[in-house]
Amino acid sequence: MKFLNLLILALPARFALAATYNLVDNILGTAFLTTFNFQAISDPTHGRVNYVDASTAQRLNLTYAAGDTFILRADSKTVLDPNGPGRNSVRIQSKKTYTTHVSVYNIRHMPQGCGTWPAVWENGPNWPNGGEVDVLEGVNDKGPNQVTLHTSAGCSMPASRSQTGTPAQNDCNVAVNSNAGCGVKMTDSRSYGPAFNSNGGGWFAVERTSTFIKAWFWPRNAGNVPADVKNGQTVVNTGSWGTPSAYFPNTQCDIASHFKAHNIIINLTFCGDWAGSAYSSSGCPSGCVDFVNKNPGSFSNAFFDFASLRVYT
């Protein structure tokens, strides 16, 4: 027994303790309105969007919160003046920042439609030096979901690692390949877009430590959803969650130096650097900006419906 105790004490902390985390932020319904700031800013990704402030979002019914429901959506009524601002939408950023943590996003519905570019991500200061983790992201309804890291130079991922997803590019440096980052495509088609929505959504989770970043996705009603995730328990054990969809180890990247304290950001933009450039190859009609300007009714399903966001440390 004495030898066993000494062995446990000698184990690195990431093996002995890091798989268990305690709930620190339980964000449901109206809590999204008090734990996040609305960012009425120019879109850094050059989208055909006009991000509005909190009072405007509530007046235009672009946000709605009650019970375990938080809705964030874009305007779906207005034909836009091609010489005027973009489509009204919402971008929010958490007031708190997180380093080592687990975040679990219970989402019933994500924005869909040609021209849409929804994102749920965690971002550091002085971009890209503080690092970026894209948890949920895609464009023009083209799934599956892609999890991506964006960093300054000197961070890359091994080609072979323990994950169920498919790596796209392994260099995370934003200066490489027009800021493609080191992305991993999930294998489950239900992780993004109309397929996600028709299935009732699901859970995305991210675990970040000083030595790795992992991401998981579980579809609604899947048999392998961990009980602590499904039930929103006050303690989660990531060691029981199985092989992650995406795994970013520190073997070729000093995670601690490339990723600082992160805010959580939720936003919906249109066209821009990615959705715009991929538009013509996505099977969408006309041009991206023209479509977004003239077809407000096409964005009636361009909304997030969050059941909860839980953060553990």
Using DSSP's 3-state secondary structure scheme, residue 137 falls into: strand
Q: Which two tokens stand for residue 307?
A: 């059941």
Question: Of the residues 43, 75, 122, 137, which is catalytic?
Answer: 137
Question: Of the residues 43, 132, 188, 207, which is catalytic?
Answer: 132
What is the C-alpha separation between 203 and 210, in angstroms, rounded? 23
Closest by CA position to 173, among listed 152, 149, 148, 146: 152
Beta bridge partners of 98: 262
What is the C-alpha separation between 308 and 313, in angstroms, rounded? 17
Contacts of 220 (CB under 8 A, 6+ apart): 108, 199, 200, 201, 202
Q: Which two tokens stand for residue 268?
A: 């919906």
* DSSP letter, residue 48: S
* DSSP letter, residue 278: T
CB 300 within 8 A of CB 17: no
Containing 8, the helix (H) or strand (E) segment is helix 2-10
CB 22 within 8 A of CB 235: yes
Q: Is 137 in the active site?
A: yes
Closest by CA position to 136, among listed 312, 313, 309: 309
Beta bridge partners of 269: 117
| CB count in 10 Å sphere of residue 123 | 21
Write out the catalytic residue numbers.
132, 137
